[in-house]
Amino acid sequence: MTYKFVIHPVDLQDHDGFLSFLSHYAGQGYQAVRIHRSFTLFRRTDTPPAQYSMAFCPRTDRLADGLQPIPGLHNGILIVPQAGSPAARETWNQTVVADYAAFVPYNLISLLSKIIRFLVLPVVVLSVFLSFVKPILQDTASLPIPQAVLYPLLLFLVAWVFAIDLFAYGINTVHRTGLRQAIPSGRPYATSPSLRPLVLLKNGLMTFRFLPLLLIWGLLLVSLFA
């Protein structure tokens, strides 16, 4: 079997745009087997879905008719490879706006708290250790990375992760505004052409967000045990 990994060119807030993205690959003979917030894993098949449907049910992991959605998402977005109820599309804007914090991580205070706990605090602890504790225990010359390089590098990586999260928060804010403005029209919100390149960039950064995190923790471990 042949698999294809694709970063999302549109976000899940864009109901019709995201289903069109899935249908585009179905037309090439690929079926979505795992869907995450920023990327989808497709598998080549001789019987690709003729249609996909999507609903937002934040307090359940199954559709009303018992269909099992495509795995990967854990925020109430249910996507199945077949036609769905027109009501889910008609009420998409209202449903998503009403529970937006469940649809995407949309709490700036929580975001800052996580960054402090998992990024800033370890870096501060490491800095104190290298500056005051380790010189007493052994010669700091044994460090694999000079402190003059290590500290700016750690600071840059923390800022990188922080910037990615803020960028994602900003894009999600634009989506929420668009969803609200689209409610009176009765049509699902659609991503503007000017926003699409930024959405693709955001999803690419979020997909590989683990890389700076790995570098940060790798530097911590190497410095602590050097």
Tell me the per-residue pLDDT of 114-125, one tens digit each, with 9 for 90 and over: 666 666 666 666
Asked if residue 141 has pLDDT above 50, the reply is: no
- pLDDT at position 140 is 46
Per-residue pLDDT at 209: 87
Mean pLDDT of the chain: 84
**Residue 40 pairs with which residues in a beta bridge?**
6, 35
Inter-residue contact 60 to 69 (CB < 8 Å): no
The closest alpha carbon to 170, from 81, 104, 83, 93, belongs to 104
- How open is the CA angle 168-75-180, to the nearest 5 degrees? 60
Structure tokens at 116: 């402090």
Question: So what's the pLDDT on residue 116?
Answer: 65
What secondary structure letter does DSSP report for 14?
Answer: S
pLDDT at 156 over 70: yes
Q: Which residue has the higher pLDDT, 55 or 65?
A: 55
Q: Given pLDDT bands bounded at 50, 70 and 90, which one contains residue 194?
A: very high
User: Could you tell me the two tokens for 31?
Assistant: 């079926």
Confidence of residue 219 (pLDDT cuts 50, 70, 90): confident
**pLDDT at site 100:** 93
Instruction: Report the pLDDT value the prediction gives residue 147, as an integer from 0 to 100.
Output: 63
Element (H, E) at 56: strand 53-56
The per-residue pLDDT for 120 is: 63
Q: What is the mean pLDDT of residues 6-13?
A: 98
How many CA atoms within 13 Å lie on the side-chain side of 11?
A: 30
- Ramachandran angles phi, psi of 177, nearest 5°: -60, -45
- Cα 176-178-179 angle, rounded to 5 deg: 65
In this predicted structure, what is the pLDDT of residue 223? Answer: 65
Q: By the 8 A CB rule, do 59 and 23 touch?
A: no
**Mean pLDDT, to the nearest integer, of 28-48?**
96
Residue 203's pLDDT is what? Answer: 97
Percent of the chain predicted with pLDDT > 70: 75
The mean-pLDDT minimum among 89-98, 141-150, 166-175, 188-197 falls in 141-150
* Contact (CB, 8 A) for 161 and 213: yes
Highest averaged pLDDT of the listed ranges 34-38, 159-163, 208-212: 34-38
Q: Which of 151, 88, 156 is nearest to 124 (CA)?
A: 151
Q: Average pLDDT in the 147-156 region? A: 73
